[in-house]
Amino acid sequence: MQVYGIGLSMEKFDVNFIGLNGKAKNKQVNNSLGAISKFLMALPDDCILCEHTGVATSLRSN
């Protein structure tokens, strides 16, 4: 199972993961419907996407 860490910004999002070869990989995806759709369609069916929202996490931990 592949786990993808995602960092969001207004223009793009960064994706970090461990490739099937065991090496760290990253990519950037533009925040457009076409680019996001293409990214999602390329993912394996049994993957997990994680996005760490700093503000929400800080509110829950206090």
Distance of CA 27 to the CA centre of its chain: 9
pLDDT, tens digit, for every residue of 3-16?
Answer: 999 988 889 999 99
The domain defined by 3-61 folds into Nucleotidyltransferase; domain 5 (3.30.420)
Tell me the HSE value of 27 on the side-chain side, using a 13 A CA sphere: 13
pLDDT, tens digit, for every residue of 11-46?
Answer: 999 999 998 889 999 999 999 999 999 999 999 889
Tokens of 26: 């990253």
pLDDT at 57 over 60: no
Which pTM value belongs to this model?
0.74
Does residue 29 contact residue 13 with C-beta atoms inside 8 Å?
yes
- Whole-angstrom distance, CA of residue 60 vs CA of residue 62: 6
